[in-house]
Amino acid sequence: MNASLHRAVAHIDLAAITHNARTLRERAGVELMAVLKADAYGHGLVPVARAAIAGGATWLGTALLEEALALREAGISGVRIMAWLTPPGDQYREAIDSDIDLSASSIESVEEIAGIANSLGRRARLHLEVDTGMTRGGALGSWPQVVATAAKHVAAGDLFLAGVWSHFARADEPGHPANEAQRNSFEEALAVVYESGMKPEVRHLSNSAATLVDPRARYDLVRTGIALYGLSPDPTTLGNAVKFDLRPAMSLTARLLLAKDVPAGVAVSYGGTAMTKRATTVGVVPMGYADGVPRHGSNALAVGFDGKIVPVLGRICMDQFVIDLGPNSKAKAGDEVTLFGTGGPSVDAWAAASGTINYEIVTRLGPRVLREYR
């Protein structure tokens, strides 16, 4: 379908993705992993992968193995692909056959991956994840045993130690003592690896925030997610993404379903949580929380229309919401509304109005929203 006729369209600027990858690679001074989990943060897995590679990304990262396999199936080659959220019994055989790097943070996971690699007569590329203070993924008290198990299988020829890695919990708070504590813990974990006789191909700790503001944490490879899409990891603590020469890659538009004049003093949408304060024109936007418009943004969000920012009136519904276009508006059905992006509020403004973060705004867009690439 022609995007200009579609009810709702996420416009993805692939040149912005390429620019951001290049900017981040130059800032980091080391290899760049473009993090593409959750359908590339809602921007589209395969098109974003190609745009990031064009900007200098030499690694691609996904949370799920099926995402990594989809990249290979789409013909993405010549770059390393890593997947890290793989439960027991996952598609390890297919991953090893497809030259996908895997991650392990337990003895059991190391043993399972090594066993499958052995059965295939191949060496699996493995990254060992250590918990340095996130208290999420990664080995903690068992780290020496995990390393020893990996070393045994590296010596046997079943595994290649591709990397050692961890993840920051508070990198978007520069100067917080937790960041230095995590760097120190990471160094201690690396020392255990070196003592085993192994040397990882790459060491990686930095997420987007650390890539932008913490040169000491960049090591051999940085993993950039939200920054790749031209958004700041935390606009409050780090500042707007423009400060780092990053360009937002997504704009979201919709076409008015209806525009009509209503009198003052009428209730709008479910529960009557909004009342018109004057006679005005309202527009019905055919998008709702089923499409990813946050319901928490009811009576708080705004959109762009005809060069102005206009407010949302009443509760966000599953498939639609109402906006106040002002008295005597000339709006008509089919006119374009910009929910966020060029011509409307920023993603950060939407996140603030909804009490959430910019990550959630872009990743929650549903499949009913057409993606248009340019």
Q: How far is CA 334 from CA 76, 136, 253, 313, 337, in A?
A: 38, 47, 12, 19, 9
Which residues are CB-neighbours of 235 under 8 A, at least 6 positions away? 241, 348, 358
Q: Which of 37, 41, 219, 359 is catalytic?
A: 37
Q: How many CB atoms lie within 10 A of CB 341?
A: 20
- Asked if residues 33 and 57 have their Cβ atoms less than 8 Å apart, the reply is yes
User: Is 332 annotated as catalytic?
Assistant: no
Residue 145 burial (CB count, 10 A): 13
Do 373 and 15 contact (CB within 8 A), yes or no?
no
Q: Are 270 and 317 in contact (CB under 8 A)?
A: yes
Q: Residue for token digits 């024109």?
A: 281
Catalytic residue chosen out of the listed positions 194, 270, 308, 332: 270
Residues 6+ positions from 34 with CB-CB distance below 8 Å: 21, 48, 49, 52, 53, 57, 59, 60, 61, 224, 228
Reply yes or no on whether 37 is catalytic.
yes
Integer angstrom CA distances of residue 190 from 40, 128, 280, 353: 30, 10, 65, 42
The dihedrals phi and psi of 150, each to the nearest 5 degrees, come to: -65, -45
In whole angstroms, give the CA distance from residue 244 to residue 202: 25
Per DSSP, helices labelled H in the chain are 14-28, 37-41, 45-54, 65-73, 92-97, 107-120, 143-156, 177-195, 208-213, 235-238, 347-354, 358-363
Catalytic residues: 37, 270
